[in-house]
Amino acid sequence: MIEILGSTELARARETGALVAGILQTLKSRSAVGTNLLEIDRWTEAMIVEAGAQSCYVDYEPSFGRGPFGHYICTGVNDAVLHGLPVDYTLADGDLLSLDLAVSKGGVAADSAISFIVGESKPAESVAMINATERALSAGIAAAGPGARIGDISHAIGSVLSEAGYLINTEFGGHGIGSTMHQDPHVANTGRPGRGYKLRPGLMLALEPWVMADTAELVTDDDGWTLRSATGCRTAHSEHTIAITDNGAEILTLPK
């Protein structure tokens, strides 16, 4: 299903997007050496409940997962890049942490992800990888506007990632979003310009470039959810929810 939102729904989407962005920034500020991933999950739950919102994850049971997710945020450390199930792990200096959060409020969802390094150690390769996903995200957003096509976004994202030297996995990518978290169209992280669905005002998309340092192959943890790099290399993930407007793309999950 491809959903086109009206002005009332878009106003609600702005509120949800601001909530998601604010929670992620709070979590980033609290995540330090010694923080446990289960603490991050509890903090997330508390902030969602306080805001009168609903988690898109806790009861989520898609075909690619194993049973309901059962947690409020995806937490990926180092080689874990997508759908990271929070576990009893304590963050160490230099860990690369990815947080992916989707929340619904007022009947409209928003989805965003950030990656950052915990503590004082800042490995140069990890910093470069995070920066590459953020640049790719910015390029994808710049390519989005009324009349553009999904392939234009995919091409813009993929060009940045490829030029930075990363292999691109096309199993998972961006997606439509609106009254539910995952909708059509799929937005691959590489593609051909001028192809695919034509963007219209009112369409919301979650764009999410992610990479692994030296592979494009994923493996799944025994938990049935957490996706890791097949080689054990580090990974990074950046995501924003955007709305297509008459004037281009509006970022709904941009931190204040």
Low-confidence ranges of the chain (pLDDT < 70): none
Residues in CB range of 77: below 8 A, 6 or more apart:
37, 84, 89, 91, 95, 96, 97, 98
> Residue 174: what residue type?
G
* Contact in structure between 220 and 213 (CB atoms under 8 Å): no
Predicted local confidence at residue 65, as pLDDT: 87
Residue-range domains of the chain with CATH:
7-251 (3.90.230.10)
- Stated pTM of the model: 0.97
In this predicted model, what pLDDT tens digit does every residue of 203-256 receive, in sequence order? 999 999 999 999 999 999 999 999 999 999 999 999 999 999 999 999 999 998
The secondary structure of 49-61, three-state, reads HHCCCEECCCCCC
